[in-house]
């Protein structure tokens, strides 16, 4: 039996995630997920790739908003869910990889707090409801939208896949290195690679693209210190076209609640060779072609 074991949301892009027992699915992903983002003076997104100290700013959900705390000194700021009362907010176009999308500055106070915490000038922006960022049409044609995520509304990883990776490492890594939204138990390592369609309750999810991993998984999410793993090990068995892959990007249909413990029911597996890495999981190719 495949079963949801962990759920995560990341309200401010590239800051630490929040573990949830239950999450609300909206049209652009989990509620609050990556609806806020830090940008530089050119309105280009900032991530742990260039600022690993972002790991030192954990988040928590409060009734009125998101509490961000600098664990190095205990300073904190509340980022409100509702922004219509903020006098300083103003519309702006921001850049996330190849996308330019509409956003709004949150407040002068937030800009000052994050600039001090990170040691360089930055601004906090919010994605309003009328900002519509379409996912990559090459992999997911249609009207699917996402927030300030790298590319898609959800990332899913199987616990068996992490267990297999850790069996190859001298020091085991936690799931937070890979920043998934959904984690499930059961099944085979890397089974998520070939999940073309599955359901959680009445909601339908579709695997559209394997997740090519950047250097962020090499950053210890507790200390912010960079290392060489897991990319060094991934290169030995999860590499294709000079990229390494771990996890499956998802789009979805339907809104509702997902809870830890929910059953995940696979409806169809991919039969496209693009979803096979170094021969892994070919056994699933013939399992179900009924919807191909």
pLDDT at residue number 171: 97
Average pLDDT over residues 53-79: 98
* Residues 101-160: tens digit of each pLDDT: 999 999 999 999 999 999 999 999 999 999 999 999 999 999 999 999 999 999 999 999
Q: What is the pLDDT of residue 147?
A: 98
For the segment 1-26, what is each residue's pLDDT rounded down to a tens digit? 999 999 999 999 999 999 999 999 99
CA atoms within 13 A on the CB side of 286: 1
Q: Distances in Å between the alpha carbon of 292 and those of 168, 197, 215?
A: 34, 11, 35
Quick check: 10 and 31 in contact, CB under 8 A? no
Q: What integer is the mean pLDDT of 80-109?
A: 86
Domains, the chain, in order of start with CATH, read 3-9+136-284 (2.40.33), 33-131 (no CATH)
Q: How many C-beta atoms surround the C-beta of residue 117 within 10 A?
A: 21
Strand partners of residue 68 = 59, 77
Residue 286's pLDDT band (cuts 50, 70, 90): low
What token pair was written down for 31?
A: 């509620």
Residue 240 pairs with which residues in a beta bridge?
243
CA–CA gap between residue 99 and residue 79 (Å, rounded): 25
H helix or E strand, kind and range, residue 114: helix 108-118
Tens digit of each residue's pLDDT (9 = 90 or more) over 174-224: 999 999 999 999 999 999 999 999 999 999 999 999 999 999 999 999 999
User: What value does the CA radius of gyration of the chain take, rounded to a whole number of Å?
Assistant: 19
Contact at 8 Å (CB) between 199 and 205?
yes
In whole numbers, what is the pLDDT of the chain averaged over residues? Answer: 94
Closest CA to 28 of 140, 113, 109, 112: 140
3-state helix, strand, coil in the chain (%, to 5): 15, 35, 45
pLDDT of residue 91: 87
Beta bridge partners, 118, equal: none
- Model confidence at 86: pLDDT above 90: no
Name which of 145, 124, 127 is nearest 135 in CA terms: 145
CA distance 151 to 248: 12
């Amino acid at each position: 039996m495949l079963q949801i074991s962990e759920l995560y949301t990341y309200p401010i892009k590239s800051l630490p995630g929040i573990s949830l027992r239950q999450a609300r699915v909206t049209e652009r992903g989990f509620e609050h997920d990556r609806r806020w983002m830090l940008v530089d003076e050119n309105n280009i997104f900032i991530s742990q790739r260039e600022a690993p100290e972002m790991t030192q700013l954990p988040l928590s959900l409060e009734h009125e908003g998101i509490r961000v705390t600098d664990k190095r000194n205990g300073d904190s700021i509340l980022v409100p869910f509702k922004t219509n009362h903020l006098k300083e907010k103003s519309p702006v176009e921001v850049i996330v990889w190849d996308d330019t999308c509409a956003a709004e500055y949150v407040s002068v106070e937030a800009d000052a707090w994050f600039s001090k915490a990170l040691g360089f000038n930055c601004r906090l922006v919010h994605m309003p409801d009328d900002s519509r960022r379409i996912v990559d049409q090459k992999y997911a044609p249609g009207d699917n939208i996402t927030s300030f995520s790298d590319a898609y509304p959800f990332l899913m990883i199987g616990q068996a896949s992490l267990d297999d990776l850790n069996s190859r490492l001298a020091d085991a890594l936690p799931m937070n290195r890979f920043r998934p939204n959904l984690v499930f138990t059961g099944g085979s390592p890397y089974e998520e690679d070939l999940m073309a369609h599955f359901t959680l309750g009445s909601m339908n999810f579709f695997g559209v693209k394997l997740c090519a991993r950047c250097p962020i998984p090499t950053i210890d999410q507790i200390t912010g210190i960079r290392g060489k793993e897991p990319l060094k090990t991934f290169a030995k068995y999860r590499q294709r076209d000079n990229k390494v892959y771990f996890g499956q990007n998802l789009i979805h249909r339907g809104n509702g609640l997902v809870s830890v413990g929910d059953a995940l029911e696979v409806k169809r597996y991919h039969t496209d060779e693009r979803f096979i890495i170094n021969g892994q999981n070919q056994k699933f190719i013939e399992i179900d072609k009924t919807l191909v």
